[in-house]
Amino acid sequence: MRRRIEYRDLHHSLTRMTGAEKHAPSATSTLDALYVLYDRVLDVAPERVDHPDRDRFVLSKGHGPMAYYAVLAARGFFPSDVLDGFGGFDSPLGHHPDRAHVPGVEVSSGSLGHGLPIAVGIALALRARNHERPNAQSNAAQSSFGRPNENTVAPRTPRVVVMLGDAELDEGSNHEAIAFAARAKLDSLTAIVIDNDSASLGWPGGIATRFEGEGWLARTVDGRDHAALERALVAPGGRPLAVIAKVEPKHG
């Protein structure tokens, strides 16, 4: 039975993490997308953090991880009391998440532009593993977006979901990964871009265009609308999927 997240509790959890983290807008901008992912989309659970068929989530914009920690605690990956030590010397919860410390954190992040390339590598590894399995299905048949189908006999290729920020897209490493992913037909890969209009030079033509031009399926949604986020994230794509989640401008 999936442990549901009470959205209203997340705000209280955020207030438990205090100190001069300096990236409060990052935390609040990601909150709703993280809630939808962990409550409705990702096939992950605290009792199966090492299960080979779990979905993988990568918080590439490791700044402001308070929302991430709040959601992980709400899903039971660690006790909520741990939130109170945020940033302390003995706390597992740093100002950037560390996979060595926090159950459920797949990739340690902080400096920008690393998560998407790593996520591409994870998606390639999972595809290779599934093709090596006996009775492997074609990759197209395995692509099952959204909640796992418990009646499916053959293993599905787990989803790999990576969250970035619109300003993080300034880093050129992301564009190496964006250009490669569609050519490599990584249809298990989803990039969520939290767009709070914080890129210093902006994205003339829109962020979705950048992904579409490289062969991705791109959807732009209201990043505070849970139903819209869920629809955008679960509908099959057959290509790498970019979901641009627009939230209120950082300096608005």
Partner 1 sequence: MDTMRDRFVTLTHAALDRDPKVALVLADISVPAFETARSRHPDRVINVGIREQLMLGVAGGLAIEGMRPIAHSYAPFLVERAYEQLKVSLGHQGVGAILASVGASYDWSAGGRTHHAPADVALLDALPGWHVHVPGHPDEVESPFSDALARRESVYLRLSTRQNASSRAIAPGRLHVVRRGRRGTVIAVGPMLDPTLAAIEGLDLTVLYATTARPFDAATLRETMPPAPTVLRSFASHDVALVEPMVEGTSSHVVSAALVDRPHRLLALGVPRVELRRYGTPEDHDRAYGLDARGLAERLTRFFR
Measured between alpha carbons, how far apart are the two ends of the chain, in Å? 41
Rounded Cα gap, residues 139 and 28, in angstroms: 36
Nearer to partner 1, 70 or 182 (CB): 182
- Amino acid symbol at 140: A
User: Which residue, 170 or 176, has its beta carbon nearer to partner 1?
Assistant: 176
Residues in contact with partner 1 by CB under 8 A are 99-100, 106-108, 110-111, 113-114, 116-129, 131-132, 172-173, 176-177, 179-180, 184
Residue placing its CB nearer to partner 1 in the complex, 114 or 246 = 114
Tell me how far, at minimum, the Cβ of 115 lies from partner 1, in Å: 9
Q: How far is the CB of 19 from partner 1 (least distance, A)?
A: 22
Indicate the residue among 110 and 155 with the shorter CB distance to partner 1. 110
CB 191 within 8 A of CB 232: no
Cβ at position 92, least distance to partner 1 in Å: 14
Q: Least distance in Å: CB of 70 to partner 1?
A: 23
Nearest partner of 234 among 224, 219, 247, judged by Cα: 219
Distance, in Å, from the CA atom of 37 to the CA atom of 43, rounded to the nearest integer, reads 9
- Using the structure block, give the residue that is written with the tokens 């009792």: 47
